[in-house]
Amino acid sequence: MGSVVSERAQRPSADATRQRILEAALDAFADQSFDGASLRNIASVAGVTQPLLNYHFRSKADLWRAVVDELFDRLNVTLGHHLRSLVDVEDRIVVHHMVRRFVEFSAHNPQLHRIITSECRADSSRMDYLVEQHIRPLYDAVTTLFARLAVAGDLPDIPPAHLYYLLTGAAPTMFVLGPECRRLSGLDPTDDDVIRTHADAVCTLLFGATHPQTGEYLPPSPPLTGRAHD
Amino acid sequence: MGSVVSERAQRPSADATRQRILEAALDAFADQSFDGASLRNIASVAGVTQPLLNYHFRSKADLWRAVVDELFDRLNVTLGHHLRSLVDVEDRIVVHHMVRRFVEFSAHNPQLHRIITSECRADSSRMDYLVEQHIRPLYDAVTTLFARLAVAGDLPDIPPAHLYYLLTGAAPTMFVLGPECRRLSGLDPTDDDVIRTHADAVCTLLFGATHPQTGEYLPPSPPLTGRAHD
DNA sequence: GCTGTACCTAATCAGTTGATAAGGGATCTG
DNA sequence: CAGATCCCTTATCAACTGATTAGGTACAGC
């Protein structure tokens, strides 16, 4: 077994090694945050030695950026793929589908929101990178889409606070707290029913409920009457 | 001015020092997570030297527990205080008020959810402590309350996924991402209108919308019709 | 005044971190 | 075959971490 083919099999090829490092780093950063994750641990999981991480990626910070870039690339590819598959569908339904895909992706890639929330601090250059490079484009795209639908009369006016939820609020935390979710309520975040319920909840939060008989949309409204005392 | 009183003023008293340390540690753990926060930085912010932290609190882990205990004590005192102030009020309204208070507390104490989310990993003894000591009691209390209201016919049946949201999902993330919330959408998480909108959204998510004319409750429902393709 | 105790600091410890330098070995190119 | 390049490891670096020890100072009780 010493032919040209077996040479390839013996040596895992640099790209494969790079990929294994990225995967190990993704889990480490998500589980233990940037400071808690050590290059030696990541290297150990990837089956290599620590200096190799500094060889392929210049520094720990650059490794982190590579991890984040690949993660958001996967998200954008997934959303774009499903968006293109939705032709001749009512805009309102498109929104619901995309929310569903986002929740789905979040459920199967809990690292996404774990990394975001673990990096959230005022003076963090990594948070700056996350927001400006990846989150803001998504947020702007969603804002633009919703504004277009509102003008077309296809959606009710959505309060900014509810809109902000879509990307940062309602969807993520359940997956950030995935293991505890299971521990407390017995729910499996990756279960299809849970994902659907979750997406429906987000849409209800955005658009309000639909009257079962008339199909009329009702905006999110407080069960509190106007006269709130205390 | 060299009397007994001025002696007190000169020496900050051990309790005050302890409190300053706890406050500095709370901010540090919330901003930089457990591993990222160093005892020397915390001590510096508190105006003392690092070994004093090991003197008052045995270890870094014990300091973290003291911080968490005090934080949840404040939450429970706040919720308990408002709960006792709500007499002769319809149960459904009580729930809304309590959600409002929880959102309010979260907005003014963003460290609460930052610490929770930063500690979320499968094999973390600190997460175990958080869940078993503080989160589970809250979760059980809310579950019990909602079950009682459902039996009394005062609330619609609430899907477990929505209920889970109340404590871990809808409310927290906007405050975890507080600074970015402001950066992206211009919203101020501590603004009263934002807090009210936020609490209303959570309640809508739990109870569904209220029909403006009939007052009829509509459960959270998907804008998707039954025939979801793809 | 003497002693003991509570609160706090300077000095120091071993362990871990990210980063770098030096070198080995395989592959490719001439 | 000779040299260059790529991929990877061992050895080592300074910096920083949490923790400990020893000491110092103020106050309380006797």
Most confidently modeled of A115-124, A208-217, B7-16, B174-183?
A115-124
Q: For chain B, report the end-to-end CA distance as a whole number of angstroms.
A: 82
pLDDT at B224 over 50: no
Confirm if B167 and B138 have CB atoms less than 8 A apart. Answer: yes
By CA distance, what is B210's nearest residue in A?
A: A221
Most confidently modeled of A169-173, A180-184, B106-110, B166-170?
B106-110
B26 to chain A, any CB pair closer than 8 A? The answer is no
Residue A7 CA, nucleotide C28 C1', distance (Å): 15
pLDDT, tens digit, 9 for 90 and up, residues A43-88: 999 999 999 999 999 999 999 999 999 999 999 999 999 989 888 7
Partner-chain contact A208 B207, CB within 8 Å:
no
C9 closest protein residue (CA to C1')? B49
pLDDT at A1 over 50: no
pLDDT at B225 over 60: no
Distance (Å, whole) CA B50 – CA B54: 7
At A187, is the pLDDT very low, low, confident or very high (cuts 50, 70, 90)?
confident
Share of chain B above pLDDT 70, in %: 67
Chain C bases closer than 7 angstroms to a protein Cβ:
6-11, 16-22, 26-27
A44-64: buried (b, 16+ CB within 10 Å) or exposed (e) per residue? eebebeeeebeeebeebeebb
Which value does ipTM take for this structure? 0.82
pLDDT of B143 reads 80
Bigger pLDDT: A177 vs A186: A186
| Predicted TM-score (pTM) of this structure | 0.84
Distance (Å, whole) CA A93 – CA B191: 32
Bigger pLDDT: B13 vs A167: B13
Share of chain A above pLDDT 90, in %: 33
Q: Which of B32, B174, B221 sits opposite A209 (nearest CB)?
A: B221
At B218, is the pLDDT very low, low, confident or very high (cuts 50, 70, 90)?
low
Bigger pLDDT: B198 vs A83: A83
CB atoms within 10 A of CB A202: 26
pLDDT of A179 reads 66
Long-range contacts of B80-88 (CB under 8 A, 24+ apart): B82/A230, B85/A230, B86/A230
Q: Strand pairing partners for A209?
A: A218
Most confidently modeled of A208-217, B66-75, B159-168?
B66-75
pLDDT, tens digit, 9 for 90 and up, residues B17-76: 999 999 999 999 999 999 999 999 999 999 999 999 999 999 999 999 999 999 999 999
pLDDT of A173 reads 58
pLDDT of B116 reads 87
Most confidently modeled of A1-5, A212-216, B175-179?
B175-179
The CA distances from residue A134 to A103, A130, B31, B183, in Å, are 17, 5, 21, 14
Distance (Å, whole) CA A48 – CA A54: 12
pLDDT of B150 reads 77
B194 to chain A, any CB pair closer than 8 A? The answer is yes
Q: Strand pairing partners for B217?
A: B210
A25 to chain B, any CB pair closer than 8 A? The answer is no
Chain D bases closer than 7 angstroms to a protein Cβ:
6-11, 16-22, 26-27
pLDDT at B215 over 60: no
Partner-chain contact A224 B96, CB within 8 Å:
yes
By CA distance, what is B221's nearest residue in A?
A: A209
pLDDT of B54 reads 97
Bigger pLDDT: B49 vs A157: B49
pLDDT of B129 reads 94
At A133, is the pLDDT very low, low, confident or very high (cuts 50, 70, 90)?
very high
Residue A20 CA, nucleotide D4 C1', distance (Å): 28
Distance (Å, whole) CA B150 – CA B158: 8
pLDDT, tens digit, 9 for 90 and up, residues B101-141: 888 888 888 898 889 888 887 678 999 999 899 988 888 88
Average pLDDT taken over every residue of chain B = 77
